Structure 1
Amino acid sequence: MTCDTLRAQLEMELGWRQEELAFFKNQLNEIPEEYKDKYRKSLILILYSHLEGYIKISLQYYIQYINSQELNRKDVTIGLMVASMDKEFLAYENLDRKCEIFRKELPEDRKLHRIFRRVDFMEELNDFKEKKLYIDDQIIDTESNLWFFVLQKNLYKIGLPVDMFNDYQNDINALVNRRNAIAHGNFKSGVIEQEFTNWESKAEDVMSGIMRIIYDYAKNRKYLNIIE
């Protein structure tokens, strides 16, 4: 996969979401003025679903792009290396005697198990780094509630800057809150035009920002471990 192919995927994904939202927004023209605020409640649900959905699939596209580059773990940044070693870290934390990753027998003394596993891990570390990089794209988890800290967590997992949307923190959290209140039937009022337009604008900024940063990292190979 090339970085331009990745860009095309991201643009296509964003495009159909924008078109669908525009379609439902256009229905406002057919709705009497006194019902428009009530209708915008449904637009909030659609807006949020596209924000969460686009972020999740975009980050997964980025992982698939990195996997397609046929790199070794040692070639990429520490964060991506760690993301590809989930199985090894789970094995490291498992102090049972049988382990498919660490095959040495643990000592009889259980008090030594943790130290023994640490030594075992360090002895295997160079081999781990030499293995082909593969990251399971299921590590991206928006947890069905894309709070700002959840967004940051997913960015951090794959080495993207966690502070890039700091200015949107309050708006992202407010949108999640409103979406949950509407979905759970706790928000009975309508949504005024100004409020919806603000969230729509912020969601568009975040989705466009995700696309730009992913393309920048792919095109300029910022996922690589550059040794000076």
Structure 2
Amino acid sequence: MKIDALRAEMEEDLSWRIDEIRFFQNTCASVGSEVGQQRFRKALVVLLYANLEGFAKLVFTTYVSAINAEAVACQEANLAIAAASLSDVFRYLRDGNGRVPDYKKLKLPDDAQLQKFARDREFLSQALELMQRPVAIPDKVTSTEANLGRDVLRKILYRLGLPHEDFEDIEPDLERLRNLRNNIAHGDAKQGISKEDYEKLRDSTFRIMRDLMLRVTHALLSKQFLLSTADTYEANRADFFM
């Protein structure tokens, strides 16, 4: 796994996003009146959120792609990664209409509960083989649901086996930005945004993006996606973030 190359890709993506935001900030400064600038900053807030959500998606997608490329067996991955990789199997098990191959040949009753039992039995017969299957995390695991906030972030982290406790310090700022974006989009924030309030939002947004990149990079470096490295990650993460 080429961590340096992955980090460079994320850094490059973050750089153009920051440049774009600053370009429109400069455009805002050229607006003649303060009232006009306050109204313009509402659009800047929407831009901040869009870039934060887009960057978060890129960071988590990079993490997933890097893990998939390692082709580790499900039995070697942490439980979240293994469960995500076997989502097609679990979906089949939960499907009330799922049919075990050759079920009719068994000459058993056409009973829904018995068919469910047959699926469970088939799963156990293939469990060893399934756990040796290479990890393949589907894209939907990193979905931001077009509404990235505390709850959606926690969903993504949980599905990837990353402790959301490591990200709790950024959650208040993330929620603040998301709520203001929603208010603007819904027409509730009729008043403009002051320069001071905007700059606080901008600085916290940049911090969140950098923190996401830093912490996901550390998760890759420490191979937290492996079942055997969870304890090592817990022991080393404090030193890494100092």
| TM-score (ref. length: structure 1) | 0.90
Amino acid at match of 2:171: Q
The aligned counterpart of 1:5 is 5
Task: Establish whether residue 155 from structure 1 lines up as the match of residue 153 from structure 2.
Answer: no
The aligned counterpart of 1:37 is 38
Unaligned runs of 5+ residues in structure 1 are none
The aligned counterpart of 1:208 is 210
Matches within 5 A, 1:111-150: 111-150=113-152
Unaligned runs of 5+ residues in structure 2 are 232-242
Amino acid at match of 2:211: G
Change (3 A) 1:69 1:121: same
List structure 1 segments (4+ residues) > 6 angstroms apart after TM superposition: none
Give the paired residue count.
225
Instruction: Answer whether contact 1:51 1:207 (CA < 8 A) is retained.
Output: yes
Deviation (angstroms), 1:97? 5.0
Q: Among 102, 105, 125, which residue is 2:103 paired with?
A: 105
Identity over the aligned pairs, expressed in percent?
28
The aligned counterpart of 2:71 is 70
- Supply the distance in 2 between the matched residues of 1:97 and 1:212 (Cα, whole angstroms): 43
Task: Establish whether residue 47 from structure 1 lines up as the match of residue 38 from structure 2.
Answer: no
The aligned counterpart of 1:18 is 18
- Supply the distance in 2 between the matched residues of 1:125 and 1:195 (Cα, whole angstroms): 55
- Supply the distance in 1 between the matched residues of 2:226 and 2:84 (Cα, whole angstroms): 14
Amino acid at match of 2:72: L
Deviation (angstroms), 1:194? 2.1
- Supply the distance in 1 between the matched residues of 2:133 and 2:196 (Cα, whole angstroms): 53
Instruction: Answer whether contact 2:35 2:192 (CA < 8 A) is retained.
Output: no
- Supply the distance in 1 between the matched residues of 2:219 and 2:77 (Cα, whole angstroms): 12
| TM-score (ref. length: structure 2) | 0.85
- Supply the distance in 1 between the matched residues of 2:71 and 2:113 (Cα, whole angstroms): 41
Cα deviation, 1:114-158, whole Å, max 9, x if unaligned, reads: 333333322322111101211122321111111210011011111
Deviation (angstroms), 1:29? 2.6
Deviation (angstroms), 1:183? 1.8
- Supply the distance in 2 between the matched residues of 1:15 and 1:22 (Cα, whole angstroms): 11
- Supply the distance in 1 between the matched residues of 2:183 and 2:145 (Cα, whole angstroms): 17
